Structure 1
C-alpha cells in the first residue's frame, strides 16, 4: 500500500468518526447514528491499518448499547 493510499484510508476514517461525533452532538436520529456505525464496522473489517482497526473497535464498543437497543 502506498503512502497516498494509507493517507486516504486515514482521512476516510477520521471523516466517518467526525460525522459520528457531530451526529451525537446534534442528537441526530438514531437511525442516522446506526448507519454511521455500520460504516465504522465495515471499515473495521476491511482496513489494512491496525491502528485504524483499533480505533474502529473502540468506537463500536462505545456505542454497543445503541446497537443492542436497535436490534430489539
Structure 2
C-alpha cells in the first residue's frame, strides 16, 4: 500500500465520479481566476476609486495567503 492511487480518497470510485469532481474543481479554479482578473483590472484602472482599489488589493492578498491552489 502507500502508493498514491491507494491512499487517495478517490480510490475504489468510478472514473465518472472522478471526472465530475475534477470538473467541479476546474469550475472553482476558473471562478477564482475570473475574480483575480477583475481585482487586478480594478487596481490598474485609473478611474477606480481608492476604496475599490483597496478592496481589490485586499482580495489579492487574501488569495495569496489563504488559497490552497496558490503556490
Under a length normalisation based on structure 2, what TM-score does the superposition of the two structures give?
0.49
Which structure carries more helix by proportion?
1
Which structure is larger by alpha-carbon Rg, 1 or 2? 2
The one of the two structures with greater contact order (alpha-carbon pairs below 8 A, sep at least 6) is 1
